[in-house]
Amino acid sequence: MIRRVWREDFRIIGYYTGLVTIGVGLLMVIPTVTSLVFREWASALDFAISVALTLLVGYVLALISRTKNIPGLTHAMVIAAGSWLVAVMLSGVPYMLSGHSKSFLDACFDTMSGYTTTGMFLLQDLDHISQGLNMWRHLLTYVGGQGIVVLALTFLIGSTGGAFKIMVGEGKEEKLEPNVRHIAVLIWRISLIYLGVGTVVLGLIAMANGIKPYLAFFHGAYIFMSAWSTGGFAPYSQNMLYYHSSAMEIASMVFFILGSFNFALHYAVWTGNRREILRNVEIVSFTITVLTTFSLVCLALMQRGVYPNAVALFRRGFFQLISGHTTTGQSNIYARTFVREWGPLGMLATTIAMAIGASAASTGGGFKGLRMGIIVKGIATDIRKLLSPERAVVTGHYHHLHDNTLTDSVVKGAAVIVVLYVLIYVVGAIVGMAYGYPMVDAFFESVSAGSNTGLSCGVTQVSMPTLLKIVYMLEMWMGRLEFLSVFTLFGFIATSFRSMRVRKAAV
């Protein structure tokens, strides 16, 4: 039986959502300072307005619903899903004020894409935006990758019992340390160390490639944030094509592959367990699916004679494929090249790679390698059971941080999430096809949105139908939060209305 919703439930949700919103407001100070440094006064004012508005909303929410009660699991899920929506809307304000978004929906599309590390955009005249707005775009994707709730937990919430539940609602279910604040600090420490290293490495490469020295390290930081969070944004509309540099692409590729690995795996390696890299089921699954899908891409590109030599094929084909598989979405070809040159088989292989996606508890999206590994091992165990004598006890195992027994409930749990992903991919594709897009294009774009990849074959444009924009936004949101918290939010809203009706009837 579903319980009724009380006023205290709203207080808990409102209070914690307010705290997360305050975190978003404080985050906006960084692009404000960036604009001031570059003497972009109008842009700085836009961000100052956005900071004031976001903090105001956050403090009002926290003030009117202040409570000392700790969130339960339902609250945690609603807080995670709800605060993402509030953050998406308020983060869209600087986009609107910049004049580079045609509508508030387009602004929210871009911020949803940023937070969910998708990387699609509807921003107009991207090549002329301020450094402040560019910093904001990349910061969104960087923070979105680690989790905005994780950020708020680190600085605002502290180590309450309910905090870990909120993190789970945001798709960070690995409990690396007993104290939730320590987990959040750990995630941020790993990410910030990589940010420092990545900015220097990519900045030096950018400088060597002829980017102005005072801008090179900003380019380095932007590309790192985009890569590490498997986001896919870049400061210019040509994305990685802007740099004409294989060194930049290789360095970025290393960072987005690292970003696509499970945080627990990073932690295991950082604490000295290096053998985990070779044994982890996600790494094994990732290697197999990368090799399989890249073979298909090679076949498609060679059949069509797209590239003149192996070096060109590898630089374009592998970069695009691995960018899709890690759900990054950085691109070193034009969007329409997929349709015009790669053809259906090349696009299909990339679509499969995007659908599978990165590792669980990483910055990436998609089904996740862990679930693929569990399902495949589950099928193999079932086949072994069928081939074994009836009395034989056959159990399957998989290695993820330690050896785990493969139970039916584990396989079922993984299969349910995979089915839900397939469902949103299909729904998005059907809506696309209903608007007249070819089936291959519609599936490519829908899977890209649902798996938070961001590669585009040209469907995502400011002129695309409004409903399709909304569907892609829902796909990004559900795909990033892995359904449970979004469904809980919908259920909570429905239950709230029912509770109101019951109370009215009682009166």
Partner 1 sequence: MKKLCAVLTIVALAVLIVAPVSASAVQPPLLSTNELVENSYKWDGQTVSFKGEVLQDLMVREDGTWMNLSDGNNTAMGVFVPKGVAMPVISRTEDYRTVGDIVLITGVFHRVCAQHEGETDIHAVSVTVLTPGSTKANPIRLGRVVWFVVLAGLLGLVMWLYYRKPGRGTEH
For the bound state, the minimum distance from the C-beta of residue 213 to partner 1, rounded and expressed in Å, comes to 11
33 touches partner 1 by CB under 8 A: no
Q: Using CB under 8 A, which residues numbered 348 to 367 contact partner 1?
A: none
Q: Record the tokens describing residue 371, joined without a space.
A: 């679930």
DSSP 483: T
Q: How many residues lie near partner 1 (CB under 8 A)?
A: 64
Residue 353: how many CA atoms within 13 Å on its side-chain side?
A: 34
Task: For the beta carbon of residue 465, count every other beta carbon within 10 angstroms.
Answer: 14
Please choose, out of 266-274, 292-300, 312-320, 464-472, the segment that lies near partner 1 by the rule CB under 8 A. 312-320
DSSP 123: -
Euclidean distance between the first and final Cα of the chain, in Å?
23
For the bound state, the minimum distance from the C-beta of residue 25 to partner 1, rounded and expressed in Å, comes to 9
Q: Using CB under 8 A, which residues numbered 152 to 211 contact partner 1?
A: 209-211
250 touches partner 1 by CB under 8 A: no
311 touches partner 1 by CB under 8 A: yes
104 touches partner 1 by CB under 8 A: no
Q: Out of 193, 196, 246, 498, name the contact with partner 1 by CB under 8 A.
A: 246
CA distance 262 to 274: 14
Q: Among 284, 483, 310, which Cα is nearest to 370's?
A: 284
103 touches partner 1 by CB under 8 A: no
Question: What mask of x and - would describe binding to partner 1 in positions 446 to 485, judged by CB under 8 A?
Answer: ----------------------------------------
Query: What dihedral angle (degrees, nearest 10) is formed by the CA atoms of 121, 124, 127, 128?
Result: -140
Please choose, out of 220-228, 311-319, 421-429, 441-449, the segment that lies near partner 1 by the rule CB under 8 A. 311-319
- Tokens 């938070």 locate to 452
Q: Using CB under 8 A, which residues numbered 45 to 64 contact partner 1?
A: 45-46, 48-49, 52-53, 55-56, 59-60, 62-63
Task: For the beta carbon of residue 340, count every other beta carbon within 10 angstroms.
Answer: 12
Residue type, 206: A
29 touches partner 1 by CB under 8 A: no
Task: For the beta carbon of residue 352, count every other beta carbon within 10 angstroms.
Answer: 16
Angle at CA of residue 306, ends 300 and 309, nearest 5°: 105
Interacting residue ranges for partner 1, rule: CB under 8 A: 8, 11, 38-43, 45-46, 48-49, 52-53, 55-56, 59-60, 62-63, 66-70, 97, 123-131, 209-212, 215, 236-238, 241-244, 246, 306-309, 311-313, 315-316, 332-334, 336-337, 340-341
